[in-house]
Structures are given as C-alpha cells and as structure tokens.
Amino acid sequence: MVVIVIVGLLSGAVVLTMADPRGRIADDIDRFAGRTRAARDSAIVSGKPVALWVSPTAYGFERRENGAWQAVTDGPLATRDWAEETRARLGSATQVRAVFDSIGRADQTLRFTLERGGSAVTLRMDLDGKVTSGG
C-alpha cells in the first residue's frame, strides 16, 4: 500500500513539472522581440524600409522593393503563427503595422496583448524597435 502511495505521489509530481507542449507565452514574446530587432537591423543594413505587421493569429515582415511592399517568405523574418491557442488582442484593429526606416526608427509604437488560456501579457514596441512586456 505504501508503494502505491509513493508511486502516486511521484506520478503527480511528474505531471506538475511537465512542460506545456505549446511552450511558454514568454517564448513567443522572446521570438517576436528577436525577429523585431532583426527587422530593424535589416532596414539599417540594407538602407530600405522594413515593415512589421501583427494580426490576432500571426505576425510577419515586408521589405520595400522596387516601389512596392513584398512579403518576406523565408529566413527569420518569414511570417510566423503565434503558438497554439495564442492570440494577439489588437483592440478594434484586425492588424497593426509599423515601418522601420533606414536608420532603424519605427514610424509608430505598437502595443497589443498576447493571450493564451488564462494568461495575458501586454507587449510594447518602442520607436527604436525595443520590445518590452508586462502583466
């Protein structure tokens, strides 16, 4: 009987420490922040504007080429879906967008909330492309 109790307690401990297969919401924030920095740096290095867009289910980047915006389809700036069951709450907008110029400055700040389950984290991107988050 004691063995069964011990096995039950150990099984419970394992279940409680198992990682969420979707990853942590902080992982989404870290990936988004890193890709945003890469977009800003790309605008500086190339001397061409790079746009960032965020929708409720995904985010991505576009480059200005030959007078038109072209979606980035490969590499770290390709469109990415938020993790499973994660949504960006954008207020009344269906998409928000900011453009980095050739000196790395964004044309506007962005602010939105990432939600998953009972968790919600507000993200802010400053004019310099720095992404910060808080409850």
Establish if 84 belongs to a structural domain. yes
Establish if 8 belongs to a structural domain. no
Say if residues 19 and 25 touch (Cβ distance below 8 Å). no
Establish if 81 belongs to a structural domain. yes
Whole-number pLDDT of residue 134: 77
Using DSSP's 3-state secondary structure scheme, residue 36 falls into: helix
Establish if 41 belongs to a structural domain. yes
**Count of domains forming the chain:** 1
pLDDT digits (tens, 9 = 90+) for 32-55: 999 999 999 999 999 999 999 999
Q: Which pLDDT band, with edges at 50, 70 and 90, does 110 fall under?
A: very high
Establish if 9 belongs to a structural domain. no
pLDDT digits (tens, 9 = 90+) for 68-91: 999 999 999 999 999 999 999 999
Establish if 1 belongs to a structural domain. no
Residue 45: domain span: 23-134
pLDDT digits (tens, 9 = 90+) for 8-27: 666 665 444 444 444 688 89
The Cα–Cα gap between 118 and 123 comes to 16
Establish if 129 belongs to a structural domain. yes
Supply the CATH number for residue 49's domain.
Answer: 3.55.40.10
Establish if 61 belongs to a structural domain. yes
